[in-house]
Structure 1
Amino acid sequence: MPIPEDVTGDEIDKDVRQELQSLPKTLAEDVAKNLVMVARLIDEDPEGAYGYSKVALRLASRVAAVREAAGFAAYATQKYSEALAEFRAARRMTGTVELWPVMADCERGLGRPEKALDMAGAPEVHKLDKAGQVEMRLVAAGARRDMGQLDAAIVTLQSPELASNSVQPWTARLRYAYADALLAAGREREAREWFAKAVEADRDGSTDASDRLAELDGVEFVDALAEDASDEPGEPGEAAGSTDASPEDGDKH
């Protein structure tokens, strides 16, 4: 796959660069460039990121960072079985538990929420840092919801991290998940309160909490382009270039 000229491979994390030192110099450079492309595309073009991850994997499958990147690229494209296999391989190579929450979420993606809950109660969770433990709590709550246990999901999310007024990297997502669970359980007033709290903490727009809050408040967003098109004679109410594409389910995983 083509690599843009502005990608040198030096953009990768220094720890990953150190891992690649076990490879011949030219090979290490090629792998690094492909890993940069994975990181660059994974949010906006997951399929493209997946393609570059497969190239890196073909070049250096014995490097843990490559297996991890391949796992995240597969995860982003909802190839959960493949992602889980890559994460397991990376974990065997490194011996760390950092990937435990996302491995559990892969189990959810594979339709095995009970397995995800088993992992949430495993000793490995105690070895996670605070961010990892919060992530594990989010996965466990999601698994409860998968099983139709809304009240249990709400209780799972109730924690010192949720109650804290301190804003951490995970705060917005935790508050959002709690608000969403409350709303699913029919507790709309409380849900509105927590969506508002999520908005306060969401400094980088990582959630759509503001849209959810506006929806609860009855605010309607009008598409100006669609409105203009509806005024044209011949096809009232139909905007040019509209599609029937369904949005991805961004709340589950």
Structure 2
Amino acid sequence: MPIPEDVTGEEIDKDVRQELLSLPKTLADDVAKNLVMVARLIDEDPEGAYGYARVALRLASRVAAVREAAGFAAYAHQKYGEALAEFRAARRMTGNADLWPVMADCERGLGRPEKALDMAGAPEVQKLDKAGQVEMRLVAAGARRDMGQLDAAIVTLQSPELASNSVQPWTGRLRYAYADALLEAGRKDEAREWFAKAVEADRDGGTDASDRLAELDGVEFMDALDEETDSSSGDAVEKETGSGSEPGGSAG
């Protein structure tokens, strides 16, 4: 697959670069460039990221960072069985527990929420840092929802991290998941409160909490084309509908 001229391979994390030192220099550079492309594309073009990850994997399947990158690319492309296999391989190579939550989420993607819950109670969870433990809680709550255990999902998300006023990288997603579960349970007022808290914490726009909050407040956003055909709208971009609409649930 083509590599843009501006990609040198030096953009990768220094720890990954260190792992690649086990390879001949030319090969290491090629692998690094493909890993850079995976990182560039994984959010906006999962299929493209997956393609570059497969190239890196063919070149250096014995490098743990490559297996991990291939796992995340497959995960983003919703190839959960393949992702799980790559994450397991990376974990065997490193002995690290960091991938445990995403491995459990792969089990959810494969339609095995019970297995994800088993993993949430495994000793490996105690080896995770705080971010990893919060991620595991999110996966466990999602598994509960997969199984139709909505009240249990809500309880699973109730934690010191949720109650804390401190904003951490995971705070927005945790509050969002809690709000979404509350809404599905019909607890609309509480859901609105927690969507608002999620907006406060979501500094990088990683969730659509602001849109969900607007829907609950009865705000309908109009696109530019509709606006042009509505002679009474002027240059307004939104209107009050007078009643909130019930959005669909998320995947957790």
TM-score normalized with structure 2 length = 0.91
Structure 1: how far apart are the matches of 2:132 and 2:113? 18
Q: Give the letter for the 1:32 counterpart.
A: A
TM-score, normalised with respect to structure 1 = 0.91
Give the deviation of 1:225 after TM superposition: 1.7
Q: C-alpha distance in 2, partners of 1:38/1:222?
A: 35
Report 1:140-219 matches (<5 A). Answer: 140-219=140-219
Kindly state the Cα deviation for residue 227 of structure 1 after the two structures are TM-superposed.
3.7
Question: Could you list the per-position Cα deviations for residues 126-159 of structure 1 after superposition, in whole angstroms to 9, with x for gaps in the alignment?
Answer: 0000000000000000000000000000000000
Answering whether residue 91 of structure 2 is matched by residue 91 of structure 1, we say yes
Q: Percent identity?
A: 89
Q: How much is the aligned-residue C-alpha RMSD, in angstroms? A: 1.4
Post-superposition offset of 1:230: 7.5
**Corresponding residue for residue 50 of structure 2:** 50
User: 1:251, CA displacement in angstroms?
Assistant: 3.7
Query: Is 1:252 aligned with 2:251?
Result: yes
Give the distance between the partners of 2:251 and 2:43, measured in 1 at CA: 16
Deviations 1:30-63 (A, max 9, x none): 0000000000000010000000000000000000
**Structure 1 residue 36 corresponds to structure 2 residue 36:** yes
**Whole-Å Cα distance in 2 between the matches of residues 60 and 158 of structure 1?**
42
**Partners of 1:4 and 1:163 in 2: how far apart?**
45
Aligned match of 1:241: none
Aligned-partner residue type, residue 77 of structure 1: H
The equivalent residue for 1:61 is: 61
1:158-186: per-residue Cα shift (whole Å, max 9, x none)?
Answer: 00000000000000000000000000000
Q: One-letter code of the match for 1:130? A: K
Q: Who is 2:115 aligned against?
A: 115
SS of 2:19 mapped into structure 1: helix
In structure 2, do the counterparts of structure 1 residues 129 and 250 end up closer, same or farther at CA, with 3 Å as the change threshold? farther
How far the C-alpha of 1:250 sits from its partner, in A, is: 9.9
**Are the aligned partners of 2:97 and 2:127 in contact in 1 as well (CA < 8 Å)?**
yes
Gaps of at least 5 residues in structure 1 are 232-248
Local SS of the residue matching 2:9: coil
Deviation at 1:229, TM superposition (A): 5.7
Deviation, 1:252, is 2.0
Cα distance in 1, alignment partners of residues 102 and 249 from structure 2: 15
Q: Deviations over 1:190-226 (max 9, x none)?
A: 0000000000001100000000000000001011223
Alignment match, 1:234: none
The answer as to whether partners of 2:117 and 2:140 remain within 8 angstroms in 1 is yes
**Partners of 2:226 and 2:147 in 1: CA distance:** 39
Structure-1 residue corresponding to 2:14 = 14
Q: Secondary structure at the match of 1:220?
A: strand
**2: CA distance between counterparts of 1:252 and 1:79?**
16
**Separation (CA, whole Å) in 1 of partners of 2:228 and 2:20:** 55
In structure 2, stretches of 5+ residues that fail to align are 232-247
